[in-house]
Structure 1
């Protein structure tokens, strides 16, 4: 892990300014993975700032500003993966070969559109249910960090389904670094947002899903998994708040 790989992670995962690489080296994608959780926290900080700014007028405006910033800063990278995966799963009929065939189609079908719309609605509604306060802002910072930490876990424990970014991503992931980062995120969650410890259940279950459903994973699957993880973690925060309030 160095500043060069941090710049690559920032460039790959966000629209934020980052040093441009003169020549793409596929191994750089894997080397930069150690920074993914950190970049996720940066994304979360931007989302939290938007939520905080808009919340002064109304919770719904805070939710809308946060969601728009969330989509903007990531460039819709993972949402695009979700749409592609939804189309492929809808047409695959449990055939990995058919799944890959549909996944390579650049067009977005009805399954993809429905999945994207439902995801954005779910995030908007869940964000609007959050209360103001520094615990909420901390949770918003940690949610994208957990989801991008998950990409390393899925890549380590689910074999690649085909060559591509998903396969290259797993080349040089450092297991001890993944464990340490997971421990840090868990400690921060215990202190700031205990509901986010649900990530320790959600992320392994997603890995099991891909192993059972397709016996492998692709780059689009990683993106879709990030979106699903973020949404489920937001749900966990909202449910926990309701339980505590009751």
Structure 2
């Protein structure tokens, strides 16, 4: 397989629990390509969710169908980013010199669990209230693009691990490719406002986490993805797009 295809399969494996392409071998030279494909994989996952919603509306009332789609959203992504959200929140409730250690703990703390439950309720309510379900692919794409931009633009706090390897191999050319296709898809879906809002969320996260820690971690990437998704859903609900 070419590095391009291996990178795509790795991206699918990392961002979903789908049985296809279950590849977790971080071969040298493919990790940057995997990062490049993160937004595209998000777009494909969004298509899966929207297609499922269309099928469910033939059987169930829209509200029930929306909540099933939300549940599928959590399950198909393996709650990967939610775990990062919970760990990041735990890190915010301890002194910052202890935060990174707390975030690496495999067990979630009380604050992380409480905030995650509240967050899930808000997100489920947002999906249930969303009329423009056809824009779910764009929401998932742009949220993952914030992580891609953070990987490229901001320091990573560990010299080891998958995140450090991804940042090391992710080139400016690969970042530019992701910028181009994300921009094109945003224009095609008339959702340039969503792109702007996603970048605004990233800017706020960058300002906060750079000030607190001096960089990003994998958990913080997950936090940014989840927060961006919630914000974009509510932008759509209030009709700004």
State the match for 1:222 in structure 2: 221
Distance, in Å, in 2 between the alignment partners of 1:59 and 1:199 is 27
C-alpha contact 1:195 1:237 (8 A) present in aligned 2: no
Distance, in Å, in 2 between the alignment partners of 1:213 and 1:188 is 37
State the match for 1:181 in structure 2: 181
C-alpha contact 1:27 1:168 (8 A) present in aligned 2: no
Distance, in Å, in 2 between the alignment partners of 1:26 and 1:99 is 31
The correspondence for 1:33, drawn from 32, 35, 39, is 35
- 1:24-64, CA deviations, whole angstroms, 9 ceiling, x for partnerless residues? 33653333111111100111112212333344533321221
State the match for 2:212 in structure 1: 213
Q: Which runs of 5 or more residues in structure 2 are unaligned?
A: none
State the match for 2:100 in structure 1: 100
TM-score, with normalisation over the residues of structure 2? 0.87
CA displacement at 1:208 relative to structure 2: 2.4
Q: Which runs of 5 or more residues in structure 1 are unaligned?
A: none
State the match for 2:127 in structure 1: 127
C-alpha contact 2:16 2:77 (8 A) present in aligned 1: yes
CA displacement at 1:76 relative to structure 2: 0.7
C-alpha contact 1:165 1:218 (8 A) present in aligned 2: no
Out of 145-154 and 195-204, give the one that drifted further. Answer: 195-204
Q: Classify 1:154/1:16 alpha carbon distance in 2 versus 1 (closer, same or farther; 3 Å).
A: same
Distance, in Å, in 2 between the alignment partners of 1:55 and 1:212 is 46
State the match for 2:235 in structure 1: 236
Superposition RMSD on alpha carbons, in Å?
Answer: 2.1
What count of residue pairs does the alignment treat as equivalent?
Answer: 233
Out of 1-10 and 178-187, give the one that drifted further. Answer: 178-187
SS in 1 for 2:239: helix
TM-score, with normalisation over the residues of structure 1? 0.86
Distance, in Å, in 1 between the alignment partners of 2:35 and 2:85 is 20
Matches within 5 A, 1:180-199: 180-189=180-189, 191=190, 193=191, 195-197=193-195, 198-199=197-198
Q: Classify 1:114/1:229 alpha carbon distance in 2 versus 1 (closer, same or farther; 3 Å).
A: same
C-alpha contact 1:167 1:219 (8 A) present in aligned 2: no
